[in-house]
Amino acid sequence: MLKTRLISGFILGLAALLAVWFDQPIPWLTIGAAIWGVLALREFNRVVTQVKAAPFAVIGSIAVILLIVSPHFENSLTPILTGFAALSLLYLLKPGERSKRFIQWTWTLAGVIYVGLLLSFLVALRGLDNGRDWVLFALGVTVASDSFAYFIGRSFGRHKMAPTISPAKSWEGAAAGLIAAAAVGLALKAVFDLPSGFITIGILSVFASIVGQAGDLVESLFKRNMAVKDSSQAIPGHGGLLDRMDSVVFAVIAVYYYVIIFVQ
């Protein structure tokens, strides 16, 4: 199981590195994020359908794609969200059984925001000055945090962090994740010569790890409420695509707003 996890993680990481690095002239990161988003939304919808009313899959998938590509078009986010809200509400009027339509609409909206809107920050961060370096920084910090939290928590974890949400997570693992994130963040600062001081980058790395781990707990809470362990087995040893995006998108959002507010 560990070997499978490491191999699939290496392949996934290499694909992400290539997509981020060679994003011009073809926006491979955007294409990859859009494909990931549609597949992750499909997992989200499948999980929700097991215990709730089925979301509107086609409308949701279109909205996810539009949100992910929206950073390429200035001031397009608000029209996309407004159009999606209006059209999806009008969709409630189509002929047929209507008793669960508003529940379906609510879960459709939740999936679009959770998957599409959050993934769009990955594309938005790549589009900023030094965006390639900042995206790799966010991904590197998250991978380090997740990996060390997993392995240290698995080997030495004794004090449960949130036993009612994710029994496997421990405070020892969380602390290891923070330390690893800071170490990798400082290393990437030196490699990419990021336009911030080492102390600031260290603090940002720790904060990205914290919000990333919190995002992981949010997704764990969602799965627990839906009575499933993983959203799918699409990634051997890791679970589903939805499982792999939780900590990443939250860390990316933290880095994005740091760059917007304090760097640019």
pLDDT in tens, 185-219: 999 999 999 999 999 999 999 999 999 999 999 98
Cβ atoms of 160 and 170 closer than 8 Å: yes
Q: Which residues contact 215 (CB under 8 A, 6 or more apart)?
A: 246, 247, 249, 250, 251
Averaged over 150-174, what is the pLDDT?
91
Q: What is the mean pLDDT of residues 149-178?
A: 92
Q: Which of 15, 39, 19 is nearest to 27 (CA)?
A: 19
DSSP-assigned letter for residue 230: -
- 172 has a pLDDT exceeding 90: yes
How high is the mean pLDDT of the chain? 92
Buried b / exposed e over 21-35, threshold 16 CB at 10 Å, is eebeeebebbebbbe
Q: Which two tokens mark 67?
A: 């949100």
Q: Rounded distance, CA 235 to CA 217, Å? A: 19
- Measured CA distances, 211 to 28, 147, 177, 218, 219 (Å): 26, 15, 12, 10, 12
CB half-sphere exposure, 35, CA atoms < 13 A: 7
